[in-house]
Amino acid sequence: MATLYTHQEENVAKTWVIMGVFLCVVIGLGWAISFYFNNPGILLFAVVFAVGMNVWSYWNSDKVVIALSRAKPADPVQYAELHRIVENLSITAGLPKPKVYIVDDPAPNAFATGRDKNHAAVAVTSGLLAMMDKSELEGVLAHELSHIGNRDMLVSTIAVVLVGFVALASNFFMRSMFWGGNGNREEKQNPILMIVAVAFIVLAPIVATLLQLAISRKREFLADASGALLTRYPEGLANALCKIGAYAQPMRTANNATAHLYISNPFGPKAASSALARLFMTHPPIEARIKALLDN
């Protein structure tokens, strides 16, 4: 019989399988470009640039995300109950209390950010505080603290590094093709392998993006299960997700760069109205998340 523990274990395993496939895509892209130009040294600049930019993003992720979301520090007096819940859940989870922020937005939502548990922050919208009862708010905050405890930020950062590498390397190749460059490529290379290499380079950014989104969706299932285990009351988070899913309007501060961090898609349910949109969703369907929480 499925339980929250088995959901947690399954999602950890599936996430690392996807990461393994992701690494294979990156290695395959490196092979394809090296094969085409017969010169692996041309990738050095793209690798250094991609890693450098993403390392900087990793160390400054909390500041960047807080600024993009227009979050403000939650006053410990005005939001005393919010601080108390975060502190109690942090103690239960064995985590340092993260910084607490408020986003002035009527849409119910929340996110966690930061490079590790000692440099983390959680933010909730004013709409979430107005809409949720205590058990539901605890469920949402437990979900966000689980992202911190599960080191989701590290996995997400690795995925961003890999996506950045793939995008830059593919873009480099396409620009070289446009300008007619061929490096040290030998004309007698196998034409079938050449076609495979070019096709792989063109498709790699799409595949990398889909894998990143798959990781993001698995991370949400894992945080749901971990959060429910933290509160020992999965119905609280399930009810919160039900209310969040019923809210039709997008967030005023919705941003593509930070959308994957929120507990629910900040662009609202209409953002996944088409089959193509659902393919590129940053979050699994709320109905599936509720079912996984209550199926134990």
Report if residue 186 sits inside a domain: yes
Q: What is the pLDDT of residues 202-222, one digit of tens each?
A: 777 787 777 777 777 888 998
194 within a domain of the structure (yes/no): yes
Residues with Cβ < 8 Å from 3, sequence gap 6 or more?
296
138 assigned to active site: no
Domain assignment present for 176: yes
Phi, psi of 110 (to 5 degrees): -165, 160
Assigned domain for 9 exists? yes
- pLDDT of 201 reads 74
* Of 125 and 258, more confident: 125
Q: How far is CA 124 from CA 23, 188, 232, 279, in A?
A: 34, 60, 21, 27
Q: Is the pLDDT of residue 43 over 80?
A: no
Mean pLDDT of 83-98: 95
As beta bridge partners, residue 99 has 121
pLDDT at 179 over 70: no
Domain region containing 36: 4-52+158-216
Strand partners, 123: 101, 111
Q: Tell whether 267 is covered by a domain.
A: no
In a domain, 207, yes or no: yes
pLDDT of residue 110: 96
Q: How many folded domains does the chain comprise?
A: 1
Print the SS3 string covering the chain. Answer: CCCHHHHHHHHHHHHHHHHHHHHHHHHHHHHHHHHHHCCHHHHHHHHHHHHHHHHHHHHCHHHHHHHHHCCEECCCCCCHHHHHHHHHHHHHHCCCCCEEEEECCCCCCEEEEECCHHHEEEEEEHHHHHHCCHHHHHHHHHHHHHHHHCCHHHHHHHHHHHHHHHHHHHHHHHHHHHCCCCCCCCCCCCHHHHHHHHHHHHHHHHHHHHHHHHHHHHHHHHHHHHHHHHHCCHHHHHHHHHHHHHCCCCCCCCCCCCHHHECCCCCCHHHHCCHHHHHCCCCCCHHHHHHHHHCC
What mean pLDDT value characterizes the chain?
A: 80
Q: So what's the pLDDT on residue 95? A: 92
Catalytic: which of 144, 186, 187, 220? Answer: 144
* Residue 296 forms part of a structural domain: no
- Does residue 48 sit within a domain? yes
Q: What is the mean pLDDT of residues 244-268?
A: 86
The answer to whether the CB of 110 falls within 8 A of the CB of 262 is: yes
| Residue 1 pLDDT greater than 50, yes or no | no
